[in-house]
Structure 1
């Protein structure tokens, strides 16, 4: 085969071929290196010379790698500064070096005197030892005037470092100023009323409580305890109304996020943001969500946040992507930290090593879970029975088999989370991301996950009808041609009948995992039972956006009706949603921020979302905490 033909199958082969042909001109002695010889000493000499060239090339490759890493650090630093609302216009001018100013007449006077006393035949403006060509070049340079401004990369990098240092120092100064002001105000109030005994407000009682000591870290993979099964509550059972709050308190939530190749630098960036917002607040509870590149450093990050904010309990998880107010981080190293000052008697962290006790009085649960946990749906139903409201919210960790959970320690597998007391007020909604393709049908015959009849009709025929495909006549070729369409089709399951144009929280979406042409059935990713309502659906960005705006509007309106302020939020969305599904990066979180307002928010993209007592898919679960 000719070389020209072979180059079509090997990308870049023509470039390599031309390099070899011109190697003699580009690299002196290259032909001698590759020429055959029978002298071992000559071969050793060539090997030594080529190893020297290889060493030079490898060092240049390392320099190139270091340059790429430095550029990535600059990009992530710029992203973090932009998230911290640092004006980029202030850094624009530092890219240029200042031009050399023209010399003034007063500065030219000594030079004219030097020329007057110069030896004949010499140039006063030339340095000793300069050749005639160098003198001419110097004269032409002086005649050209001042040199134009050029780029100075070190000055640019130093400016970025200085800008971040200034932001961090200002944050620390703000926190110190607020703390000293609070101390001065308290001393003035004590001096003004020495005989009066101030009433102990709930906030003062919370601040006076002893900080919680950090608990020792448990083993990396605790042994999961087998839980006793309970009967599942009816899916259409009406949830009880939340109990009335026993005492008002005004919780504060602070949120920060950062991205950086070094996880500890990312935490330092987030910590600077949080210190700038604290203003004397003493946090009692923290949420830490991080992407999968930070998983090997999860324990070190947990130790660092404990040291930064002592007395805090910590919950969180790792995921494929994390989210914050108006931004989401997909496929890049990032973390989100949120602090709050909920009273310590209104929450309790639980895990496999420290399960909930029977006397734990909880109104709801924040739940992080591993999708590979056996009998996961039964465990979720059991935990829902432990809550006075019967409501759970959270998500399944994502990002691979090494995903971890944080519950005052780092865990793999099982369940963990946060039990919230009766005085913690919240509003939670589920946003669906799918739209039905046809009417609902009732399952009239099934065998495990295989559904064989819907309303007495073969389930496969009902699927083809909703997809507007020809009826199945026994030819498998027609089904193979429609396989791409089947892969995009999902199944919506419910228990309450209704003519739905769009799904609500009562519908759980599952995958269509297979077809059985022999029994004319369909296989669903759930154990089916007769009487369940089933409809075929597909992911729909416009429907997802409308439903997302709807739940944000409902939460905002309900908070206003209660006369409460939205203090903070947690959002768990499906990994199948996010920016690509909504059209652009961070589009989903920007819609939430636009509809909900400026509310501190943290969360992650999950392999499954938990709401009520069910495990959902392709949804978003938004929970907003209110002040009392």
Structure 2
């Protein structure tokens, strides 16, 4: 799939192969990209399923030799996305070539970082680690990471501070369930831990949509007692007692969702707002309950006393409607030149009764651009001006020319 455009504008093309043989797979991908007639390839992004891990070095070599991209970035995943198709169970490699005149593409990688004692200097420490230059014209960071080895809790805030107003998007590899089995690609390097990515600066515009696939229930609570990630009291009441009371007051249909999928907890990003709706919460899971004490463990190390939270349920109708509503902001800006979509491995047919929902909604909103994506074990996307790792989420990044408005 390719997009016709002025030679001086940004252009994208995509390719897919289901071939397992690395020679056949490489040739098929190269042929599709060359047929698109891009003047150059500034960035080549690829996602591949576990079936292709053993052969990815040879496939990558074909792409580097024949397409000569400025930067190659890739990641293994449990599933991949090509246009409107979400390939959840079958082997596939998907590739997106981007010609980005006037845009600087800086590659980077990182693992465990030796931070200074002064947290105010974290972004400077990270800049040295990444080896990138920032000049105030940063537009986007695409970060791909291994979930077993990457210290994102401290790294993402430092990265966001480093790049200022630029957004950070990406995903955690879902290609394997054991450490050192995932694969990240960065030019001629193949990594099995840490993170790899690119920093885009200059003549490109990016717009992002983050949908968390769930719906708020009950009322907001203020955390009145907690210890680390253990919530002990909500609104002055024992946490578990408050939750049980809230669930007991729900409609029977919502109670069934709680019984079937459990509860999620949403932490408000901006406490200064009077009302909270979709996009105002960072959604996390409940990871444990102390029945004797009535305490609840939250999968969020940043919960603390004084924060506002509200519980959520997973609901396929709400997930679909929320994504479609949030995509209105993309429609305002017109068709995209290209796009990347990072979705949770709990979405797709694990959430919806039919396949390809998220990909189809995205393509409809963006005017069918050359789009690829990955099914992830955690999605990186912006909420409230912060760079955060999400779960149950779809993160869409749409690329347009710098004059799109």
Relative to the length of structure 2, the TM-score reads 0.83
Larger deviation: 461-470 or 250-259? 461-470
**CA distance change for structure 1 residues 360 and 437 in 2, over 3 Å: closer, same or farther?**
same
Give runs of aligned pairs for residues 22-421 of structure 1, distance below 5 A: 249-278=8-37, 281-343=39-101, 346-352=104-110, 355-357=129-131, 359-361=133-135, 362-373=138-149, 375-400=151-176, 401=178, 402-408=181-187, 409-421=189-201
Deviation per CA, 1:584-612: give whole Å up to 9, x if none.
12222122222322111111011111112
Distance 2:285 2:160 in 1: 24
What SS class does the counterpart of residue 413 from structure 1 fall into? coil
Q: What per-residue deviation string (whole Å, max 9, x for no partner) do you get for residues 241-272 of structure 1?
A: xxxxxxxx511000122223334433333333
Which one of 530, 534, 548 corresponds to residue 323 of structure 2?
548
Mean Cα displacement is larger for which, 493-502 or 392-401? 493-502
**Which structure would you say has the larger Rg?**
1
- In 2 relative to 1, CA 584–438 (structure 1 residues): closer, same or farther, beyond 3 Å? same
1:608 corresponding residue in structure 2: 378
**Which aligned segments of 4 or more residues in structure 1 are displaced greater than 4 angstroms?**
497-502
3-state DSSP of counterpart to 1:343: coil
- In 2, distance between residues paired with 1:372 and 1:524? 19
* 2: CA distance, partners of 1:540 / 1:483: 7
Q: How does 1:490-505 map to 2 (within 5 A)?
A: 490-497=264-271, 502-504=277-279
**RMSD, matched Cα:** 2.6
Q: Does 1:585 align with 2:355?
A: yes
User: 1:452 maps to which residue?
Assistant: 232
The Cα shift of 1:484 comes to 7.9
Change in CA separation of 1:439 and 1:350 when aligned onto 2, cut-off 3 Å: same
- Structure with the bigger RCO (C-alpha within 8 Å, sep 6+) is 2
Candidates 272, 277, 291, aligned match of 1:517: 291
Q: Which is helix-richer, 1 or 2?
A: 1
C-alpha contact 2:9 2:101 (8 A) present in aligned 1: no
1: distance between equivalents of 2:221 and 2:183? 40
Q: Distance in 2 between matches of 1:374 and 1:335?
A: 24
Partner deviation per Cα, 1:43-83 (whole Å, 9 max, x = no partner): xxxxxxxxxxxxxxxxxxxxxxxxxxxxxxxxxxxxxxxxx
Question: What are the superposed Cα offsets for residues 325-364 of structure 1, whole Å, 9 maximum, x if unpaired?
Answer: 1011112210111111113761111113994336333333
Q: Contact between 1:466 and 1:536, CA under 8 Å: does it hold in 2?
A: no
What runs of 5+ residues in structure 1 fail to find an aligned partner?
Answer: 1-83, 85-170, 172-201, 204-248, 471-481
Q: Secondary structure at the match of 2:164?
A: strand
Relative to structure 1, the CA distance from residue 432 to residue 483 in structure 2 (aligned partners, 3 Å threshold; closer, same or farther) is closer
Aligned residues: 366
Any conservation in 2 of the 1:491–1:512 contact (CA below 8 Å)?
Answer: yes
Distance 1:486 1:379 in 2: 35
Match of 1:572 in 2: 342
Runs (5+) with no aligned partner, structure 2: 112-127, 251-255
Q: State the alpha-carbon separation in 1 of the partners of residues 140 and 20 from structure 2.
A: 36
1:440/1:499 contact within 8 Å kept: no
